[in-house]
């Protein structure tokens, strides 16, 4: 599942999720969700943990 979809389904803002995964701010999460930036490995691990595996590192890459 893509990060944006997860956030929408769970009613989380970029800012709220940023606090949960311990990144600087909501703009950073927005960049991750928009595909403008890839999270570092440690952040990807926190995203997977926070989403209970719904969003994994593979979800940040196109399947094409």
Per domain, the residue ranges of the chain are 3-57
Burial tier of 37 (Cβ tally within 10 Å: 0-12, 13-18, 19+): middle
Predicted confidence (pLDDT) per residue in 21-64, tens digit:
999 999 999 999 999 999 999 999 999 999 999 999 999 987 65
* Model pLDDT, residue 63: 62
CA gap 20, 28 in Å, rounded: 13
Q: What are the φ/ψ torsions at residue 33 (nearest 5 degrees)?
A: -65, -30
What tokens appear for 62 in the block?
């196109």
CATH class of segment(s) 3-57: mainly alpha
pLDDT of residue 15 exceeding 90, the answer is yes
> Closest Cα partner for 56 from 36, 24, 27, 32?
32
């Amino acid at each position: 599942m893509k990060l944006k979809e997860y956030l929408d389904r769970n009613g989380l803002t970029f800012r709220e999720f940023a606090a949960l995964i311990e990144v600087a701010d909501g703009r950073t999460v927005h960049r991750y969700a928009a595909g403008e930036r890839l999270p570092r490995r440690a952040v990807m691990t926190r995203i997977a943990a926070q989403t209970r595996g719904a969003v994994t590192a593979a979800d940040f890459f196109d399947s094409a």
